[in-house]
């Protein structure tokens, strides 16, 4: 606990030192989103419909993350609209992935920790698995949409004589750069969180069939792949909206 407190204090201090007022605003947004996640968990635990609660809280989380991070109204509106559309579309994909993969519940690796506990908690763990997939991709989707929208808007402001063909070329270059870094960030984040599990499989000589049928690992992989699709879709959609605005200004 002491180490976590030290890390938290360092984070707050560095954000205030580097970004000053913007850092304070981002810290407030982070605290609000933490509260939103807490409300989401509480409402699901109370028996509210998990998908409905997820839809409402996802919109709130995206709004806080995007509108608390920048002052430019046009950039934030495009990023929020893009993120909201992407999340709603991928919510349907997450439902389909869960129906096919059946990632809900506990795995065989959880037996030791759960053998003295009651599993009759009255929750639909299939819906909980969908919530986990969607929540895991919210940050990546919002970040990608915001990064592309802000970058393209800055390019347009710097070159008022830009033609449509030049804009399309800049959109392609920036999209490729953001896609590469965002996907790698998501991949290594999931890889880092599953290194212990992978070592468990290796040391216990799991067969490849057992690994690919591991509920714990495949749930992480499914969340990662849905997140990567979200990044790709948000980059394309944000670029489309910015291009439409640019064409209107010509």
- If you search the block for the tokens 């599953």, which residue do you land on? 194
The HSE-up count of residue 117 (CA atoms within 13 Å, CB side) is 8
Instruction: Answer whether 84's CB lies under 8 Å from 241's CB.
Output: no
pLDDT of residue 206: 79
Label residue 117 by pLDDT band (50, 70, 90): low
Nearest to 57, CA basis, from 91, 92, 11: 91
Within 10 angstroms of residue 22's Cβ, the number of other Cβ atoms is 15
Q: Give the CA dihedral 19, 22, 23, 28, nearest 10 degrees.
A: 180
Which of 2-6, 30-34, 200-204 shows the lowest per-residue confidence on average (mean pLDDT)? Answer: 200-204
Q: What is the average per-residue pLDDT within 166-180?
A: 88
pTM, entire model = 0.84
**C-alpha–C-alpha distance, residues 86 and 141, integer Å:** 8
Question: Percentage of residues in the chain with pLDDT exceeding 90?
Answer: 15
- Which residues are CB-neighbours of 91 under 8 A, at least 6 positions away? 51, 54, 55, 58, 130, 134
Tokens 């468990």 sit at which residue? 200
Give 105 or 23, the one with higher predicted confidence: 23
């Amino acid at each position: 606990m002491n180490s976590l407190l030290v890390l938290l204090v360092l984070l707050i201090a560095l954000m205030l030192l580097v970004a000053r007022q913007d850092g304070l605003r981002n810290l407030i947004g982070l605290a609000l989103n933490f509260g939103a996640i807490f409300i989401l968990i509480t409402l699901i635990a109370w028996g509210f419909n998990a998908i409905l609660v997820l839809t409402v809280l996802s919109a709130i989380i995206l709004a806080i993350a995007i509108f608390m991070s920048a002052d430019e109204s046009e950039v934030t509106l495009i990023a929020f609209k893009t993120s909201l559309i992407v999340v709603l579309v991928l919510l349907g994909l997450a439902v389909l992935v869960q129906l096919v993969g059946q990632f809900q519940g506990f795995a065989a690796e959880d037996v030791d920790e759960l053998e003295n506990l009651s599993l009759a908690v009255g929750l639909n763990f299939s819906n909980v698995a969908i919530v986990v997939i969607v929540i895991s991709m919210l940050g990546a989707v919002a970040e990608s949409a915001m990064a592309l929208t802000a970058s393209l808007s800055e390019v347009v402001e710097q070159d008022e004589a830009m033609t449509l063909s030049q804009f399309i070329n800049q959109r392609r270059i920036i999209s490729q750069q953001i896609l590469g870094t965002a996907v790698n960030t998501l991949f290594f984040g999931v890889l880092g969180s599953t290194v212990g599990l992978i070592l468990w499989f290796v040391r216990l000589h799991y067969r490849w069939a057992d690994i690919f049928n591991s509920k714990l690992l495949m749930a992480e992989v499914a969340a990662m792949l849905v997140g990567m699709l979200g990044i790709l879709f948000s980059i394309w959609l944000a670029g489309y909206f910015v291009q439409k605005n640019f064409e209107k200004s010509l």
